[in-house]
Structure 1
Amino acid sequence: MKAGIKKSQGSVITFSDNSEVLYTVFSVKELDSSLDIVCGASGKEAYRN
């Protein structure tokens, strides 16, 4: 909420693994389902997936 999610049109989300990305995407979508989200993970495990 401090980041101003309710006022934004979209979000870019990156973390080191897929589970953190998915948790954050679902949390943000719960706050505002109309947001456009671009996400990705950059860790070694995420690369294999």
Structure 2
Amino acid sequence: FLVGFVGPILVVPEANQGPLLGIFFTGPLGVVVGLVWGLARAADRTSLHDD
């Protein structure tokens, strides 16, 4: 989220849509990626304990 929010502000400071990238794209994308990653790790751990 922080990279998507601050990155465009640093690259093009005169563009006022910079923070929208972090709020609407990279923030939710990070949530989805984190959810998928966490579910995959949880599934992997439970499959290891089933042996």
Q: Above 0.5 in TM-score? A: no
More strand by share: 1
Which of these two proteins has the greater Rg computed from alpha carbons?
2
Structure with more of its chain in helix, by fraction: 2
Q: TM-score, normalised by structure 1?
A: 0.29
